[in-house]
Structure 1
Amino acid sequence: MPSTDTAIAAQPAGPLFDPLFDQLTAAWTALQHAQPGLPPAPQLRVALSGGLDSVVLLHLLVLLRTHLAPQLGLEAVHVHHGLLPEADAWADFCVRCSAAWDVPCRVQRVQVARQHPGGLEAAAREARHWALEGPDADLLVLAHHQDDQAETVLFRILRGAGVRGAAGMAPWLPAGPGRLARWRPLLNHSKETLRRHAQAAGLVWVEDPSNQDLHYSRNFLRQQVLPLIQRRFPGVAGGFARLGRLAGEADQMLTELAQLDQAALGSAPWARAALLALSSARRRNLWRYQLSRIQARLPEEDQLLEAERQFCADAARAGVQLALGRGLLCCYREHWWWEHARPAAATEARVWLGEPEIAWGRGRLRFIPDPAGLPLAPGARVEIRLRAGGERLRLHPARPARSLKNLYQEAGIPPWERPLLPVVWVDGVLAWVGGVGAGVCPELAEGPRWRLVWEGPNRLP
């Protein structure tokens, strides 16, 4: 490889007549037909590390712009992690390389959390993904190739990631909340194909020494495991890539099945009997689909199996709440639903000072002026507390007061919510209970009336 000091390859004068350029051109044409939502003059953001793969990708896109798609907008973004002494030199190389090809290049510096629970690799990946997002682009183009796909599929299989994990990286990923659409046009091409293209074009690039560090699992697979398998099974990278495509198709079918099951359930809370009527595989497939809509990483299979065991047990009717990732699987009596696993707000006893709402536990208590509401006379002491035990509330003038335990059961409030519900006392009189409502309290002095509204834990659709 030539030294990066010998000069960056100049603006391409003509297309390279090699299969890689021809196939990228075909991939771009196919993408335009498959994604009619792309604007006529799309703005492409290229992740440029300065390594072989991303330099080849940028070179091919510059050729595409020069000869076939002059309307194409190109921007390079180099993420400066600051983890190695060479980081400044790599950033400078990317700026010079892009400038030689008339492509603007933005260097995005990031702070990598060294104490990340997933390790330094995961922390750098998260920081990189954040840095590559943002406005003023229609598409993020990434240089992942067939060898990367093989490594990803093998890594996820070893982690027991299931069908979705084995699907590897998708060549096209539509835009989502806070995320640009992603295109990986080199995913079916080997690293060696990219290298031949770079050498034929006289390209230069940088080498990251951390790629040789076998402490990182992906490097170990790339440097030790895959070459060993390749010697016995030539073409294994293509085999893993095919496995990824087939797993992707299987995952799509599982998603479509989950969507059908979801539609049959209707709106939450859902009937427990309807879920029990599904096979175990379809039940857990539905849960994975529902969880995938609220979080990136799914729980381990053992966790799902244990959750399913508890859900199917007759004891679940009495109330069960199971943590699965960022979701809480809740079941009570004949229904089930999901809630966000969020930290609870403080629930120490407090006096109401006229504020329109109070955060309480995993919900909030709102005070709304209402002529038919509870009288709260000026100067009355309005206290919000937790249930202490033994409280009784009368809901109807002609009926006796009843225990909160009975009222909670009648209202269908799950057992785990009851200890955290707000209980409102006015001048020492129990006047209102969250989830139950206001009591009949003739002893309260007249005054402005308020309707109290308890908004409990946020259930997921």
Structure 2
Amino acid sequence: MSGGLDSSVLTHVLAGLRRELGIGLSAVHVHHGLVAGSEAWSDTCSDLCAALDVPLAVCRVQVDRAHSGGLEAAAREVRRTALLSGLDGGVLALAHHRDDQAETILFRALRGTGVKGLAGMHDAMDVGVGSCIWRPLLDVPRAVLHAYAVRYGLRWVDDPSNTDTTFSRNFLRNDILPQLEGRFTGASANLARLGRLAGEAELLLEELADSDLDRLRMAGTTQMRRPLALELSSARLRNVLRRLLAQAGVTMPEEGLLREVERQFRENGAASGSRIRLGEVVLCVYRERWWLEAAAAPVAVSGSRLWNGEPSLPWAGGVLSFATEYGQGLAAGLLMTGVPCRVQSRVAGVRMRLHAGSPSRSLKNLWQEAGIPPWLRDAVPMLWVGERLAWIAGVGVAAEFQCPPGEAGIQPRWSVFA
């Protein structure tokens, strides 16, 4: 709690309901020291919590004044981190109300946000491992909270920085929203309603993207079929890209960049091998497949590494794992003969036979047939048993090392190809 009107009312309401709801209740005051006189705010919180028999923890934090998003963003970020730390499966109740929601939606709209941003704040959201954020006052106007505080004689502090209209949110809250309410009755309520409708639209877009991804994705991989993606409308393809980026936890790019990525993706020449940058990731295209991967492409590992039966090895920015599977992969008996096994990258002049009785193939031909993109080839791991090549990631097992049906086998996998 901050000690302000909103959090004081929320604490008072929850304290009155905890027995009926059967919940434990405690409060946290985050002290950032950015405002003169804020040392006394914790005293206001302490007085209210003592009167309500609510345990209070005071958390002192440092705000990065050089934060790229500005002081407001830095303070919100450090406050959120402090409030979520130690939550451990609990519920964090926040006192955002309907006026806050209207302000948030208007602020994001003016910055050119999409549907997701227009949805505003969610009344409940998971934050990992059974923990969640809950905003029980999100549909309640601030005027109602004020009336409640007066009725019950609550004391609260007013943050003087909230009147500083050099901050964009304060400008909207103090100057713009009151004028909108004066001209358009119910403006804040209507903005909040817009947020709810945008939230529904966001869910529908996510469901559509998931349906498209189910159709595009190749079984057992994270790669997708490019010909089917090219059949999608531009809006639908960009919706799929946004969903993939959100699932990867990547910062959403601006609309102009997303449109440019789509344009390059649709070019005929993209199929020869393209890596299109999207911030922290790249959209990769090779032949009839496409996928997202880390922006830094794997690089060849110099030299070789002995494999002594370990379940996994780090390799070129990924993990090379070895799973026991019957009737698949490498015949385990051929690997346990005492002959040293090693892993290394590309070796000049390599040839391998994938099927008994068929001719051996050059490494270049094997990679082309398997669809290994050019930028990965120098890093692809190969398993050697003595001086014999037994397996190439993404290509398969050499014919003479393939596991017979029903016998114990070792299935290597390189996570880069997952």
So what's the TM-score if we normalise by structure 1? Answer: 0.73
Which SS does the other structure have where 1:453 is aligned? Answer: strand
Q: Distance in 1 between matches of 2:301 and 2:163?
A: 53
Where in structure 1 are there 5+ consecutive unaligned residues? 1-47, 442-449
Aligned to 1:299: 253
User: In the alignment, residue 192 of structure 1 is paired with which amino acid?
Assistant: A
- Report runs of 4+ in structure 1 exceeding 6 Å deviation: 375-378, 396-400, 424-431, 438-441
Correspondent of 1:453 among 393, 412, 418: 412
Deviation at 1:232, TM superposition (A): 3.8
C-alpha displacement at 1:324, in angstroms? Answer: 3.1
Alpha-carbon RMSD? 3.6
1:411 aligns with 2:370: yes
Partner Cα separation in structure 2 for residue 259 and residue 440 of structure 1? 39
Matched, 1:319 2:273: yes
Give the drift of 1:254: 1.9
Give the one of 254, 260, 277 matched to 2:211: 260
Please give the residue correspondences for 1:377-396 in structure 2 after superposition, counting only pairs within 5 Å.
386-387=345-346, 390-395=348-353
Once the two structures are TM-superposed, the CA of residue 315 in structure 1 deviates from its matched residue by 1.8
Q: How many residues align?
A: 399
Equivalent in the alignment of 1:226: 177
* AA aligned opposite 1:316: A
How far apart, in 1, do the equivalents of 2:360 and 2:350 lie? 6
Choose the corresponding residue for 1:103, options 48, 51, 54. 54
In the other structure, the counterpart of 2:3 is: 50
Q: Does 1:283 align with 2:237?
A: yes
In the alignment, is the contact (CA less than 8 A) between 1:56 and 1:194 conserved in 2? yes
Alpha-carbon offset, residue 55 of structure 1: 0.7
Give the drift of 1:330: 2.8
1:332 matched residue in structure 2: 286
1:424–1:433: 8 Å Cα contact kept in structure 2? Answer: yes
Q: Shift of residue 165 of structure 1?
A: 0.6
* Contact 2:298/2:379 (<8 A) preserved: no
More displaced, 293-302 or 149-158? 293-302
Paired amino acid for 2:25: L
CA distance, structure 1, for counterparts of residue 291 and residue 252 of structure 2: 17
Contact 2:342 2:383 in 1 (8 A): yes
Q: What one-letter code is carried by the residue in structure 2 that aligns with 1:154?
A: L
> Cα–Cα, structure 1 residues 245 and 427, in superposed 2: closer, same or farther, change >3 Å?
closer
1:81 alignment partner in structure 2: 32
* Aligned positions of 1:54-453 closer than 5 A: 54-65=7-18, 69=20, 71-133=22-84, 134-135=86-87, 138-170=90-122, 172-178=123-129, 180-265=131-216, 267=219, 268-295=222-249, 297-340=251-294, 347-352=301-306, 354=308, 356=310, 357-366=312-321, 371-373=332-334, 386-387=345-346, 390-395=348-353, 402-422=361-381, 433-436=392-395, 453=412
1:27-46 counterparts in 2 under 5 A?
none
- Specify the code of the residue in structure 1 equivalent to 2:352: R
CA contact (8 A) 1:363 1:454 kept: no
Tell me, yes or no, if the aligned pair for 2:300 and 2:380 is still in contact at 8 Å. no
Contact map agreement 2:299 2:376 (CA 8 A) in 1: no
Are the structure 2 counterparts of residues 71 and 432 from structure 1 closer, same or farther at C-alpha, using a change threshold of 3 Å?
closer
CA distance in structure 2 between the aligned counterparts of 1:438 and 1:72, rounded to whole angstroms: 58
Q: Does structure 2 retain, via aligned residues, the 8 Å contact 1:53–1:144?
A: yes
Q: Tell me the alpha carbon deviations over residues 272-317 of structure 1, each in whole angstroms, 9 at most, x when there is no partner.
A: 2222222222222222223322327422212221221122222222
User: Given the superposition, is the C-alpha separation of residues 60 and 320 from structure 1 closer, same or farther in structure 2, using an over 3 Å criterion?
Assistant: same
Tell whether the 8 Å contact from 2:273 to 2:374 is kept in structure 1 after alignment. Answer: yes
The alpha-carbon distance between structure 1 residues 454 and 188, as it changes in their structure 2 partners (threshold 3 A), is: closer
Quote the sequence identity (%). Answer: 46
**TM-score, structure 2 normalization:** 0.80
**How far apart are residue 139 of structure 1 and its match?**
2.9
**Inter-partner Cα distance in structure 1 for 2:24 and 2:144:** 26
Matching residue of 1:30: none
Residue type of the partner of 2:205? L
- Secondary structure at 1:74's aligned position in 2? coil
Give the secondary structure class of the aligned counterpart of 1:352.
strand
In the TM superposition, residue 271 of structure 1 has moved relative to its aligned partner by 2.1
How far has the Cα of 1:187 moved from its partner? 1.9
1:60 maps to a residue whose letter is V
Structure 2 vs 1, CA of residues 430 and 299 (structure 1 numbering), >3 Å: closer, same or farther? same
In the TM superposition, residue 399 of structure 1 has moved relative to its aligned partner by 6.3
Contact 1:340 / 1:457 at 8 angstroms: preserved in 2? no
Change beyond 3 A, Cα 1:259–1:80: same
CA 1:345–1:230: 2 relative to 1, 3 Å:
farther
**How far apart are the structure 2 equivalents of 1:296 and 1:91?**
37
Query: Which one-letter code corresponds to 2:160 in the other structure?
Result: P
Distance change >3 Å, CA 296–CA 96, structure 1 → 2: farther
Task: Determine if contact 1:372/1:451 at 8 Å carries over to the other structure.
Answer: no
Deviation, 1:149, is 0.9
Q: CA deviation at 1:77?
A: 1.9
CA distance in 2 between counterparts of 1:432 and 1:252 reads 44
Deviations 1:361-420 (A, max 9, x none): 232335789645468967x7x7765447x5332336866664422221112112221132
| Change in 2 beyond 3 A, CA 1:316/1:123 | same
Structure 1 equivalent of residue 404 of structure 2 = none
Show structure 2 runs of 5+ residues with no match: 325-330, 401-408
